[in-house]
């Protein structure tokens, strides 16, 4: 399981996130500039996000087409992202902490694979 937060907006333990608090159209999307930074727990890794994207599953969730999923509001959108592993929970293997070089370009899929 991956927990992630937007690195560039991190201040005092908080971060920025595109969230919904109910189902609906694009008008229900709110930019929360004070979302809590996820906490690390056993079996998880924490990712510092450098870029995030919204794909069709995000608007399907937003409009309520995925109600069978156990969603708790507020729900953070943008499951496609790139970033670096910033912390590793106990019991996790195959990952190591890494930071981006000052000049880099990277393309990633929304899943994490062990190296």
Q: Say whether pLDDT at 26 is over 90.
A: yes
How confident is the model at residue 51, as a pLDDT?
Answer: 80
DSSP 9-72: G-BTTEEEEEEESSS-SGGGEEEEEEEEPPPP-TT-EEEEEEEEE--HHHHHHHHTTTTTS---
Which domains are seen in the chain, by residue range?
2-88 (3.90.180.10)
The 10s digit of each residue's pLDDT in 77-97 is 887 887 888 888 999 888 888
How confident is the model at residue 85, as a pLDDT?
Answer: 86
* Residue 7, helix vs strand vs coil: helix
The 10s digit of each residue's pLDDT in 29-77 is 999 988 888 888 999 888 888 788 888 989 999 999 999 988 899 998 8
How confident is the model at residue 115, as a pLDDT?
Answer: 46
How confident is the model at residue 19, as a pLDDT?
Answer: 93
**pTM of this prediction?**
0.68
- Mean pLDDT (whole number) for 16-22: 91
């Amino acid at each position: 399981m991956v927990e992630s937060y937007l690195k560039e907006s991190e201040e005092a333990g908080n971060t920025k996130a595109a969230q919904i608090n109910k189902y609906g159209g694009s008008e229900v999307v709110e930019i929360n500039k004070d979302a809590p930074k996820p906490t690390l727990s056993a079996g998880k890794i924490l990712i510092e996000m450098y870029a995030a994207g919204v794909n069709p599953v995000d608007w399907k969730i937003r409009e309520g087409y995925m109600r069978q999923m156990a969603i708790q509001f507020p729900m953070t959108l943008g499951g496609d992202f790139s970033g670096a592993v910033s912390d590793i929970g106990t019991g996790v293997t195959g990952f190591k902490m890494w930071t981006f070089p000052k000049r880099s370009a990277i393309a990633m899929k929304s899943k994490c694979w062990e190296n």
